[in-house]
Homo-oligomer: A and B are copies of this chain.
């Protein structure tokens, strides 16, 4: 495996690979890799000639009240996972290499952000879209891999790729779950044993709400209220949001048809857990 730190050096490599008509799978990460990242890397390895992974904690997507410095880092461990998953090039630039001068341009995300986790993180997705624009030009991937667990990020990237006509294919990978349905996350270790027992309720609630929507004839406001009440009655979790939106537009659902996301965030003691399911509603079949 090759480790590259210089952005233009990476672009030289990807330009050469493109000339050789090689397919490139790209997995952009902020490091501190877990099982979810492995699923992205396995898919990339499976579907491309060459796999490039980036590990870069992007200051631009941290708000003034979010602690960039305390973001967990473990590059040696990330490197080990990259080797195990067959990564060809690991891109690990410094902040100075990625942002050598004050930026005169940035990508502004004007839709799909004022809901779900974006509502409490103004500017976050501008930072994500800006660094991805840079990375996409450096890596020149055929396919780029994101996890559906961060469904709002996938929606924003979907808009970025489509509206700016990036010649890149977006691959969204299913969330990896524990046996009781809990989405795997590095935050799960912050749960107490009791909270861990309760946490399966996120996915259970999403699944039940999905069935109600498929059955149709449902009042969305009522449904939300019922789900939130049942979670807060049956567990120690506090629901931050429970939303039913169109996907990937993330707009209010007016008709029960098309692609829908049900997304949830619940605070359990020291761990804020998020999860979602995305599915098609076909109202002609009802």
| A residues with CB within 8 A of B | 7-8, 11, 15, 18-19, 21, 101-112, 129, 133-134, 137-138, 140, 156, 159-160, 163-167
Contacts and interface: CB of A to CB of B under 8 A. Distances in A.
Contacts of A109: 104-105
A24 B112 CA distance: 35
Given A105-B160, A110-B104, A11 B167 contact: yes
21 contacts: A8-B165, A11-B167, A15-B167, A103-B111, A103-B163, A104-B109, A104-B110, A104-B156, A105-B109, A105-B110, A105-B129, A105-B160, A105-B164, A106-B107, A107-B107, A108-B108, A133-B164, A134-B163, A134-B164, A137-B165, A140-B167
A204 to B, nearest CB: 32
The quantity of this chain's copies bound in the complex is: 2
B163 A105 contact: yes
B167 A137 contact: yes
B165 A138 contact: yes
Given A19-B21, A101-B163, A103-B163, 17 more contacts: A7-B165, A104-B111, A104-B163, A105-B107, A105-B108, A105-B110, A105-B129, A105-B156, A105-B159, A105-B160, A105-B164, A106-B108, A133-B164, A134-B165, A137-B164, A137-B167, A138-B165
A106 B110 contact: yes
A133 B167 CA distance: 12
**Nearest 9 CB-CB pairs, A to B?**
A104-B111, A104-B159, A137-B165, A108-B108, A105-B160, A138-B165, A133-B164, A104-B112, A103-B163
Given A19-B21, A21-B19, A165 B105 contact: no
A1 to B, nearest CB: 23
A239 to B, nearest CB: 27
Nearest to A166: B137
A160 B109 CA distance: 17
A104 B110 CA distance: 5
Contacts of A8: 165
A48 to B, nearest CB: 17
Contacts of A19: 21
A141 B276 CA distance: 40
Contacts of A159: 104-105
Contacts of A138: 165
Contacts of A129: 105
Contacts of A103: 110-111, 163
A109 B104 CA distance: 6
A104 B113 CA distance: 9
